[in-house]
């Protein structure tokens, strides 16, 4: 697909609507973008499946015209900022996509994570793909009867310093690690659990500032490892629910400044409080951000513009979308996206 170089300096915020994949769960659909400086969302449709449920979005870190979207019908790619889309040719099983990762060491290396714990890798910028031998099965993790099974690769990250070191956050199933580029995987969350709170993982971040420092977030809050995932401790954060926990949904480093970390959180999967947490010391300490406004739903997604790191955005799963042009010091509200309120994916670039 040819790139339109005339648009390469434009900056957009991309937003995907979706929902849970369980029986009887509400699903909103649509993929749209907001041009920098605009207040009007554009619905993106050309080449996408009908009513796309978009749970993953990623903008190429060096070529912002290239955008990937994960749908219920597999991954799609655009080479012109979302104007046109084409299906990515993967030997998958038609399962929903939940995560897309450009490797921080080499963006030609890519990973796509699916429901049912499937991960595919490309070493040639998405032209060819191979399924990785991922297996996360009980009884590696045992939970109470009726607990959710391990099923979704919700987020992935890789070490910039050690390119073969890859992590995956599984909802529900703990945190996975591969030390050989994905050929072999191990579950870092062994143990006996009375419920699945602590293995309901939503994100993982391998620090670009401190080698071997890894953060994992999920339903029960945040966990930190200083030895690449061998051992973990709970990060003390202000609780936001009756369990004494905080529900963390997304974690990001500021592009070019890995000492600065941000987390999107709330009181639970569905709650009437959405918050942002910020660290300026690589995760040693965290503060709740005063946005100057109060989101009415759980904060679900964060996005940065790689070329303009001070431009950041966040969104709730109730449809509120916010933007900042000064690194999160001040925030403005954007219009709600057309077609629904369940924002599941956000990307800038």
Q: Which CATH number fits the domain that encloses residue 46? A: 2.130.10.10
How many Å apart are CA 314 and CA 249, to the nearest integer?
Answer: 11
pLDDT at position 1, please?
42
**Which of 81-90, 124-133, 134-143, 229-238 has the lowest average pLDDT?**
134-143
Instruction: Round the average pLDDT of the chain to a whole number and report it.
Output: 91
Kindly indicate the confidence band of residue 172, based on its pLDDT and cuts at 50, 70 and 90.
confident
Please state, in angstroms and rounded to a whole number, the distance separating the CA atoms of residues 141 and 165. Answer: 22
**Is pLDDT at 45 greater than 80 in this prediction?**
yes
Give the chain's domain count: 1
Number of neighbours of residue 322 by Cβ within 10 angstroms? 21
pLDDT, tens only, 194-233: 567 788 899 999 999 998 999 999 999 999 999 999 999 9
Q: What is the pTM of this model?
A: 0.93
* Average pLDDT estimate for 100-108: 97
pLDDT band at 138 (very low <50, low <70, confident <90, very high): very low
Angle at 323 (CA atoms; ends 321, 324), nearest 5 degrees: 155
* pLDDT for the residue numbered 140: 56
Q: For the chain, what percent of residues have pLDDT higher than 70?
A: 92
Give CA–CA dist 6/326, Å, rounded: 27
Nearest-CA neighbor of 257 among 217, 323, 201, 312?
A: 312
pLDDT of the residue at 139: 46
- φ, ψ for residue 343, nearest 5 deg: -80, 120
For residue 115, give the DSSP letter: B
Give the model's pLDDT for residue 200: 85
pLDDT of residue 328: 96
pLDDT band of 3, cuts 50, 70, 90: very low
Q: According to the model, what pLDDT value does residue 4 have?
A: 42
**Residue keyed to tokens 């490309």:** 122
The range of the structural domain enclosing residue 73 comes to 5-348
Do 12 and 349 meet the contact criterion of CB atoms below 8 Å apart? yes
User: CA dihedral in degrees (27, 35, 303, 336; nearest 10)?
Assistant: -40
pLDDT digits (tens, 9 = 90+) for 230-283: 999 999 999 989 888 999 999 999 999 999 999 999 999 999 999 999 999 999
């Amino acid at each position: 697909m040819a790139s339109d170089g005339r648009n390469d300096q434009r900056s957009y915020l991309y937003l995907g609507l979706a929902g849970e994949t369980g029986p009887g769960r509400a699903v909103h659909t649509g993929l749209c973008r907001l041009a920098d400086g605009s207040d009007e969302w554009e619905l993106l449709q050309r080449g996408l499946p009908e009513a796309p449920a978009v749970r993953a979005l990623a903008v190429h870190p060096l070529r912002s015209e290239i955008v990937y979207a994960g749908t219920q019908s597999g991954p799609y790619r655009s080479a012109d900022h979302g104007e046109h889309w084409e299906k990515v040719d993967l030997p998958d099983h038609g399962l929903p996509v939940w995560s897309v990762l450009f490797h921080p060491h080499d963006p030609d290396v890519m990973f796509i994570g699916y429901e049912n714990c499937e991960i595919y890798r490309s070493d040639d910028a998405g032209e060819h793909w191979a399924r990785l031998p991922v297996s996360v099965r009980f009884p590696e993790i045992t939970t109470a009867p009726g607990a959710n099974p391990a099923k979704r690769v919700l987020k992935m990250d890789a070490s910039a310093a050690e390119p073969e070191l890859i992590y995956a956050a599984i909802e529900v199933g703990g945190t996975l690690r591969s030390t050989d580029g994905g050929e072999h995987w191990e579950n870092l969350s062994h143990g006996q659990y009375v419920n699945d709170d602590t293995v309901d993982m939503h994100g993982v971040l391998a620090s670009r500032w401190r080698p071997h420092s890894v953060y994992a977030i999920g339903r029960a809050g945040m966990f930190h490892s200083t030895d690449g995932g061998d051992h973990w401790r709970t990060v003390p954060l202000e609780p936001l629910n009756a369990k004494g926990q905080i529900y963390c949904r997304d974690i990001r480093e500021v592009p070019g400044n890995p000492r600065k970390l941000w987390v999107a959180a709330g009181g639970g999967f569905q709650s009437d409080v959405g918050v942002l947490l910020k660290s300026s010391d690589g995760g040693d300490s965290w503060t709740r951000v005063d946005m100057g406004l109060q989101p009415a739903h759980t904060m679900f997604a964060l996005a940065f513009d790689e070329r303009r790191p001070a431009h950041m955005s966040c969104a709730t799963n109730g449809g509120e979308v916010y933007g900042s042009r000064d690194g999160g010091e001040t925030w403005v509200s954007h219009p709600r996206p057309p077609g629904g309120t369940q924002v599941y994916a956000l990307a800038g670039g």
